[in-house]
Chain A
Amino acid sequence: MRLISRLLAATALTLAFGTAAASAKTLVYCSEGSPEGFDPALYTAGTTFDASSRAVYNRLVEFKHGSTEIEPGLAESWEVSEDGTEYTFKLRPDVKFQTTDFFTPTRALNADDVIYSFERQLSGDNAWNQYVPGASWEYFNGMGFPDLIKSIEKVDDLTVKFTLNRPEAPFLADLAMDFASIMSKEYADQLEANGNMEQLNQQPLGTGPFQFVAYQPDAVIRYKAHPDYWAGKQPIDDLVFAITSDASVRAQKLLANECQIMPYPNAADVASMKDNDALNVLEQEGLNVAYMAYNTTQAPFDKVEVRKALNMAINKEAIIDAVFQGAAVPAKNPIPPTMWSYNDAIKDDPYDPEAAKKMLEEAGVTDLSMKIWAMPVSRPYMLNARRAAELMQADLQKIGVNSEVVSYEWGEYLDKSKAKDRDGAVMLGWTGDNGDPDNFLDTLLGCDAVGGNNRAQWCNEEFDALVSKAKEISDQGERAKLYEQAQEVFKREAPWLTIDHSTVVMPMQKSVQNFVQDPLGYHRFDGVDLAE
C-alpha cells in the first residue's frame, strides 16, 4: 500500500515538474558540501548558511549585496535611543511567508515572528530551546546575546523593541547575521502541535528569495523562486545546489556546464579557468586574515624588538606564491582591506633579514629556538599551513633562529593553542562574521580574550581602551578613527606576524549574470540571472 501511494505521488510529481521543467530558467550551483541542517541558528558553517539563511530566510537588517554595510531588510526602518540601549524596528508590511507543499501560511510577517526567532535562542524555558538534542545556539551565544539582550517587546503588530543591557555598536551588524534569521511562528506552532518540531531543521520556511523544495542528502538541494517575495520575484525560476565536495570535480562539472557556478576552485586550476573563453572568473579579497601569534607573555617573545625582528625575517610574498599561487595579498593589519576603518597609512615591517638579525642581536637574544605551530587543516585564509611553516622555518634559519614545526589534530590544536603558558608561535586565522572591525580587533586581541581567542595572550591597555570605547559609540566615523589608532598600536607592538588576506575566486559560466561576490563569503543568488 505504501509503495503504491509513493508510486502515485511520483507520477503526480513527474507530471507537475515534467511540464514545468522545459521552460524554467534553472541555475545550478556546484556547492562544496552538504548543509548540516536548515536552521541557521544551530550552526556556524558557511555551507549551511548558503543553503539555509541566505536562500530561504531574511533578517531585520541585511548586508548590502557585495558589501558589509547594513541596509533595511524585514525592518524598513529603525530608531536607536540616545543612550544606545534601545532599538525600535518598524517591520515592512505585507511580507509573505513562502507557501510550500508542507505549509500554507495564513498571515503575513508580524512582530510575533521576530520575537519567536530570538526567544527560542534566548530562553531555556522556551519549548523550542532544545527542540533538537544539544542545540547550542552557537553564534547567539558567541556574539554575547544572552548577556546583551535585556528584553524584546512587541510594541504593536509591526513594531518590535530590543532593550540592551549596555550600548553595543556592532548590534545592528549582528542582526544581519545568519542566526538572526526570522522564522515563521505560525509554521513553528503547527510543527509543535503535530509533535514534529525537528522538521524545522529539515524543511525550512521563511520570507526569503527562494523557497525550499527538496533535499537529497549529500546530493542535491532544490529551491524555486518565491513568487510573492517582498523585493520582487527572482529572475531565475529554479535554483539547484549540486553538492560536489572535490574541487577538481567541481571544475570539471563547470567546464561541462553541468553547473554554471562553483566556489573554492583549486589554486592550481585558476589560471586555466581564466584562459577559458566560456568562463568568467571573479576575484575579491576575502574578509579574512591569517596570522602567527607569538606568546607575548613568554620570554623572549615578551620583547617588542624580538617580535619585530622575527616579522622582518619572514618573506610573506614567498609564502603567498608557494601556498596560494598568488591568490592572496600580504597582510599588514589585523583586519582586511575590504573592511571599513582599515588603516592603509600603516607601513608594514619590511622583509629585511639583515636588519632582523641585527635587531635580535641588539635585543641581546642569541641562539633562539622556537616552535612554529602549523594547523593540520586547510582553511580559506591558509591553504597549507605546513608548507607555510616550512618556509618560515627556512627564513628564520637565515637569521640564526632555529625553529621546529609542530602540529596536532585540529580539535586538540585549537584547544592547546589557547593555553596562556603555551610554548611557541601559533599559526591561525579568522574569517569575519558580521563585517564589523570589533569582530576582529576585540574578539582576537582584546584583554578579555586572553586565554581564549587571543592566541598572542596580548593585553595592551592602550589598544584595549580604544577598541572598548569604539564599541560604545554608534557614530561610524568616530568608531573608524578609534580603530585606525588601534591598528597603529597593534603594528607598533607586533603581537602577531600578519601573514595574508586570501583572495576568494568564483569561476562561472559566462551565461551567469549579476552575480556579486560577497566579502563575508556568502554565496547569494538573489538578483542572479541566466542569459538565454
Chain B
Amino acid sequence: MLRFFLSRVLVLIPTFIGVSIVAFAFIRLLPGDPVALMAGERVMDPERHAQIMAQLGYDRPLIVQYLDYLFGLFTGDFGTSIVTKRGVAGEFFTLFPATLELSFCAIVIAVAIGVPAGVFAAVKRGSWFDQITMGAALVGYSMPIFWWGLLLIILFSGTLGWTPVSGRISLLYYFPQVTGFMLIDSLLSGQEGAFTSALSHLILPSVVLATIPLAVIARQTRSAMLEVLGEDYVRTARAKGLSRFRVVGVHALRNAMIPVITTIGLQVGVLMAGAILTETIFSWPGIGKWMVDSVFRRDYPVVQGGLLLIALVIMIVNLVVDVLYGVINPRVRAR
C-alpha cells in the first residue's frame, strides 16, 4: 500500500511542473499587459510603461522570469499580486475556505441525492421514477448555472423570502475569522442566530453548485449499477436467497462505486469551474471570482499562483481517490 501511495505521489511532481509551465504561459499568451490595463482609457506614456514593467521584472527574458517564478515556488513564495499588492498564497488561503465550504456542501448534496437516485433508477429500470430522474439529470447537466442561480434567488429570496439573497452570513453578525469556514466560525462566535444565518446563506449556492455534479453522479451511478446488476455473481447472490437490499446495497453497489468514485473525484475539477459562476452570483468570496478578476486584470502572479494552487488541490483530491480505489478494490493496489 505504501509503495502504491509513493508511486502516486511521485507522479505528482512532473504534473506540478507541467502545470506551472502552462499557468505561466497561459496568462502571457493573452494580449494586453497588467500595466496598460491599469491605466484604462488614460493613455500611459510608453517610457513610463516600460519603466513600470521593468520595476515588476517583466522586461526580462521569459525563461528568466519562469525560472525566477519556479525558484520562488520551491521556497514557498507564490509572488505578490500586481493589483492588490498582497501575497498570492495569503490571498488564496483567505479565500479558499469559502470555496471549500461551498464545494464540500455541494458535493455532499450531489452524492447524498445522486447516488441513491442512480441506484434506485437502475433497480427500477424503465419505470416512471427512472424516466423522471434521468430526464431531470439531463436537464440539470445542461443547466446554464448563471440563469439557474438567478432564478432560484428570484423565487426563494425575492418572491418567497425564505432564503437570503447573497453573501455568507447576515451583516449584523461580525466576528473575526478563526478557521475561515463560516459554519464553524459562527458556532465559535457564540452569537445567537449566527449559525442559522450562515447555514441559510449556504443553501442556495450549494444547490446551484451541486446541480451539475448531481446530474453526472446520478447518471454514472445508474449505468454502473446496471452493468453490475447483470453480472453473474449478482445472479448467484440472488439465487442464494439474499435479501434484495443486501444484493443491491452490499454486493452490487460496492463494485458499482469504483467508476462512481472516479466520477466524484473528477467533479472536484467541475466544482472549481462551477464555483466561478456560483460565487459571482451569490457574492461568495471564494477563489473562483478572484481568479476571473485576476485574468481580466492580467494580474500575472495571481493567475500563475492561483492556477497552481487550484491544480494542487485537484491533484491531492485525485490522489485521495486513487488511494480510495485501493481500499475498495484490492486488485488496484496489487498491480
Contacts and interface: CB of A to CB of B under 8 A. Distances in A.
B is bound to A: yes
A455 B123 CA distance: 69
B32 A412 contact: yes
B189 to A, nearest CB: 5
Residue among B91, B94, B150, B174 having the largest count of chain A Cβ atoms under 10 Å: B174
A307 B281 CA distance: 44
A219 interface: yes
A285 B96 CA distance: 41
B40 A13 contact: no
B153 interface: yes
B94 A217 contact: yes
A249 B285 contact: no
Given A218-B289, A256-B157, A414-B40, A13 B174 contact: yes
Contacts of B86: 198, 202
B273 interface: no
Could you tell me the dominant secondary structure of chain B's interface residues? loop
A165 interface: no
Given A258-B165, A410-B32, A134 B52 contact: yes
A432 to B, nearest CB: 12
Contacts, number: 166
B183 to A, nearest CB: 15
B77 to A, nearest CB: 13
Interface of A: 3, 6-7, 9-11, 13-14, 17-18, 21, 26, 28, 34, 36-37, 42-44, 130, 132-134, 136, 138, 141-142, 198, 201-202, 214, 216-220, 222, 240, 242-246, 248-249, 252-253, 255-256, 258, 408-412, 414-415, 418, 428-431, 449, 452-453
Contact of A411 (B33, B168, B174): B33
B158 A252 contact: yes
Contacts of A216: 177, 285
B188 A245 contact: no
B283 A242 contact: yes
Interface in B157-187: 157-158, 161, 164-168, 171-172, 174-178, 185
Interface string B75-87: 0000010111110
B131 interface: no
Given A36-B83, A133-B85, A217-B285, A17 B174 contact: yes
B154 interface: yes
The contact size tier of chain B is 35 or more
Interface of B: 30-33, 35-45, 48, 52, 55-56, 80, 82-86, 91, 94-95, 98, 150, 153-154, 157-158, 161, 164-168, 171-172, 174-178, 185, 188-191, 280-283, 285-286, 289-290, 293, 298
Contacts of B32: 409-412, 415
Nearest to A258: B165
Given A21-B172, A130-B55, A217-B91, A252 B42 contact: no
A249 B172 contact: no
A242 B171 contact: yes
Nearest to A216: B285
B85 A37 contact: yes
A219 B85 contact: no
Contact of B189 (A10, A198, A219, A220): A10
Contact of A136 (B41, B48, B84): B48
B55 A217 contact: no
Contacts of A245: 280, 283, 289
A248 B166 contact: no
Contacts of A133: 55-56, 80, 82, 85
A134 B176 contact: no
B281 A142 contact: no
A430 to B, nearest CB: 6
B212 to A, nearest CB: 19
Contact of A3 (B80, B172, B178, B281): B178
Nearest to B194: A14
B289 A242 contact: no
B8 to A, nearest CB: 32
> Top 6 closest A-B pairs, CB basis?
A411-B32, A218-B285, A219-B285, A132-B85, A452-B43, A412-B31
Contact of A249 (B52, B166, B185): B166
